[in-house]
Amino acid sequence: MARAEVENYLAGLADRLAAALVAEPFSAAAGYRVGADLAAAGFVAPEALGRTVTLVNQRLLADLGLAGPEPAQPDAGPGPRERLAALLEALVTGCARGIRDRTLDGQEAIRRAALAAREQAEQALRASEVRLRYLALFDQLTDLPNRTLFGERLGGLLADAPARARIGLCFLDLDGFTAVNDSLGHQLGDELLTAVAERLTGLADEGGYLAARLGGDEFALLVPGTSCTDDMVKVADRVLSTLAAPVRVGDHELPVSASAGIVERPVAGADAAELMRAADQALHWAKTDGKRRWRLFDPDRSARDVARFRLSAAMPAALDDDQFVLVYQPLVDLRDGRPRGQEALARWRHPRLGMLDPARFIDLAEDTGLIVKMGLRLMELACRQAAGWPDEPFVSVNLAVRQIRHPGLVADVSAVLDRTGLPAHRLQLEITESALAGRDTGTVETLTGLANLGVRLAIDDFGTGYANLTYLRDLPVHTLKLAGPFVHCLRTPNVSDAAGETILGALISLGHALGLTVTAEGVETRTQARRLAVFGCDLGQGWHFGRPALVPALTS
pLDDT in tens, 349-365: 999 999 999 999 999 99
Q: What is the mean pLDDT of the chain?
A: 88
Task: Give yes or no for residue 49 having a pLDDT over 70.
Answer: no
Q: Residue 86: what pLDDT?
A: 85
User: Who contacts 524 (Cβ-Cβ below 8 Å, separation ≥6)?
Assistant: 487, 491, 542, 543, 544
Query: 161: how many CB neighbours lie within 10 A of its CB?
Result: 17
Nearest to 151 by CA among 128, 165, 122, 171: 171
Query: How far lies 538's CA from each of 91, 213, 441, in Å?
Result: 134, 63, 30
CB atoms within 10 A of CB 100: 11
The pTM of the full predicted model, rounded to 2 decimals, is: 0.68
Q: How many CB atoms lie within 10 A of CB 137?
A: 16
In sequence order, what are the residues at sequence separation of 6 or more whose Cβ sits closer than 8 angstroms to the Cβ of residue 526?
544
Higher-scoring residue by pLDDT: 14, 188: 188
**pLDDT computed for residue 67 by the predictor:** 54
Helix axes 498-513, 526-535, angle to 10 degrees: 50
Q: What ranges make up the beta strands (E) of 294-362?
A: 294-296, 324-333, 339-350, 354-356
| Rounded Cα gap, residues 209 and 204, in angstroms | 4
Does residue 215 carry a pLDDT above 80? yes
**1: number of Cβ within 10 Å:** 11
Closest CA to 434 of 458, 405, 466: 466
- Residue 253's φ and ψ, nearest 5 degrees, are -110, 110
Q: What are the beta bridge partners of residue 210? A: 222
- Cα–Cα distance between 475 and 433 in angstroms, integer? 12
pLDDT score at 491: 67
Whole-angstrom CA distances from 512 to 51, 478, 480, 507, 537 are: 131, 10, 9, 9, 9
- Whether the bond into 25 is cis, omega within 30 of 0: yes
Helix (H, G, I), strand (E, B) or coil at 466: coil
- The band of 107, judged by pLDDT with boundaries at 50, 70 and 90, is confident
Map residue 293 onto helix, strand or coil.
coil
Structural element, H or E, at residue 90: helix 80-137
Q: Greater confidence, 42 or 331?
A: 331
- Residue 556's pLDDT is 57
- d(CA 30, CA 11) in angstroms, rounded, equals 15
Q: Which of 77-81, 532-536, 540-544 has the lowest mean pLDDT?
A: 77-81
Contact 327, 343 (CB under 8 A): no
Q: Report pLDDT digits (tens) over 392-448.
A: 899 999 999 999 999 999 999 999 999 999 999 999 999 988 788 766 788 889 999
Whether the predicted pLDDT of 88 surpasses 70:
yes
pLDDT at site 173: 95
Query: Are 285 and 295 a contacting pair, CB within 8 Å?
Result: yes
> Phi and psi dihedrals of 541, rounded to 5?
-145, 135
Domains of the chain: 1-65+78-137 (no CATH), 147-297 (3.30.70.270), 312-540 (3.20.20.450)
Of 127-141, 147-161, 449-463, which range is least confident? 127-141
Which of 173, 175, 196, 193 is CA-nearest to residue 185? Answer: 193
Q: Is the pLDDT of residue 533 over 60?
A: yes
In this predicted structure, what is the pLDDT of residue 91? 83
Give the three-class secondary structure for 252: strand
pLDDT at 493 over 70: no
Q: How far is C-alpha 270 from the geometric centre of its chain's CA atoms? A: 24
Tally of residues, the chain: 556
Predicted confidence (pLDDT) at residue 73 exceeds the cutoff of 60: no
* Paired sense of beta strands 258-266 and 166-174, if any: antiparallel
Residue 454 CB neighbour total at 10 angstroms: 13
Q: What are the beta bridge partners of residue 169?
A: 222, 263
